[in-house]
Amino acid sequence: MKRRPLLLGAAVGAVAAATGAGVAWWRLRPQENPLPPGFWESRFERPEGGEFALADFRGKPLVLNFWATWCPPCVTELPLLDRFHREQNPSGWTVVALAIDSPTPVREFLLKRPLSMPVGLAGLEGVEFGRSLGNDQGGLPFTVVLDRAGNVHTRHLGELKPPDIAAWKGAIS
């Protein structure tokens, strides 16, 4: 008789875990072109001067990473993303780092830790841009991976690990 409450508790726990996983998958699942209006027209100032538009990267697999100089997990994952950009850019991939930060700290950071991938100064408006791409919490780091057609393949809130990044190559050609 003592096993019944234990089994019931385990069953309730399993249902709760499955429900939570299902909700998370539903919210972060790949969807056909859920990009906000005007996405491809978005323009960002470069820390070194000049600017770029996201339209410059249209038709290629694109990784958008939202980060800040004051965010330790962001700083930790930047070298992984930069290496992915260097290795995969010849096959069409682009990684764009959008800094949710003021220009001066970003410029100082990049003097100490240069990056080969394009960096855009998104400022605080970048938080809202990230929300429009599915980052309801506004947390950092936040990464969105688009396929060549501009469809969202992956949304990832939190620090990326090598297996997360490796999964993109096989899933998107």
Helix 162-171 / helix 72-88 crossing angle, nearest 10 deg: 30
Query: Which of the residue ranges 23-32, 43-52, 93-102 would you say has the lowest mean pLDDT?
Result: 23-32
Omega cis (within 30) before 141: yes
> Is the Cβ–Cβ distance between 69 and 99 less than 8 Å?
yes
The mean predicted confidence, pLDDT, of the chain is: 87
Kindly state the tokens that stand for 49.
Answer: 């001067």
SS3 assignment, position 18: helix
Q: What is the pLDDT of residues 29-66, one digit of tens each?
A: 444 557 999 999 999 999 999 999 999 999 999 999 99
The ranges assigned to domains in the chain are 1-30, 34-171
Query: Which of the residue ranges 7-21, 33-47, 56-70, 135-149 would you say has the lowest mean pLDDT?
Result: 7-21
pLDDT score, position 5: 58
Task: Calculate what percentage of the chain has a pLDDT beyond 90.
Answer: 77
pTM recorded for the entire structure: 0.81
Residue 30, Cβ neighbours under 10 Å: how many? Answer: 14
Give the count of alpha carbons within 13 A of 150, CB side only. 14
Q: State the pLDDT confidence band at 85, using cuts at 50, 70 and 90.
A: very high
User: Does domain 34-171 fall into CATH 3.40.30.10?
Assistant: yes
Instruction: Name every residue whose Cβ is closer than 8 Å to that of residue 16 and which is 6 or more positions away in sequence.
Output: none
